[in-house]
Amino acid sequence: VGARRILDAAGIHSSADMYTPAMSFMRARALSSPTSTLWLVATNVFRGLGDATTPMFCAILLNIVNMIGDYVLIEKVKVGIAGTALGTTIAQFVALIPLLVVLNQKVPFWMNVNLKSFRRYLARYGKAGIYLIGRSIARIAAVSYISRRSVSKYRTQGRT
């Protein structure tokens, strides 16, 4: 929804050559918001339980699936830069499944969900998602600002 504003804030305007690929990347990457949130929550629950190895093995699986997915989507399917975002999204989903299965074995969390409790869980997820989006925007803004400052400093020193 706010991809255009984020790109404008990052200094990538609609006239830039990079605008269309950046927009497609951001839109494809937005699909992973639910899995990213669940991944962060699940790994932190494992840390709280004193188990750092299970998330590590799932992260290794995530990286392997991501590398294969990026290669297939970029080189074979010819999706372009959005292929990297889709590859990461798919990899996060694939690695999240065993992570949640193991977590459910350690701490059962599947429950009988009725409509009223589903609304409550959805509202909690929305609140957590807003915080995650805010954190992501702050990180993007900080990196964009530092990048622009370093490039302008580099150019003023006579280097191009």
Element of type H or E holding 134? helix 115-156
Q: What is the number of helices (H) and of strands (E) in the chain?
A: 6, 0
pLDDT tens digits for 27-74? 888 888 888 888 888 898 898 899 999 999 999 999 999 999 999 998
By the 8 A CB rule, do 85 and 28 touch? yes
Distance CA 55, CA 44 (A): 9
The half-sphere exposure of 129 on its side-chain side, counting CA atoms within 13 A, is: 13
Distance CA 133, CA 127 (A): 10
Distances, alpha carbon 153 to alpha carbons 10, 140, 148, 149, in Å: 17, 20, 8, 6
- Put simply, whether the predicted model's pTM sits higher than 0.85 gets the answer no
Q: Is 59 helix (H, G, I), strand (E, B) or coil?
A: helix
Please give the pLDDT value at position 157: 65
Distance CA 62, CA 64 (A): 6
Please give the pLDDT value at position 112: 58
Q: What is the mean pLDDT of residues 8-35?
A: 83
Residue 15 has pLDDT above 80, yes or no: yes
By the 8 A CB rule, do 99 and 54 touch? yes
Please give the pLDDT value at position 50: 92
pLDDT tens digits for 118-157? 777 777 777 777 877 788 788 887 877 787 777 766 666 6
pLDDT tens digits for 96-118? 999 999 988 888 766 556 677 77
Please give the pLDDT value at position 113: 60
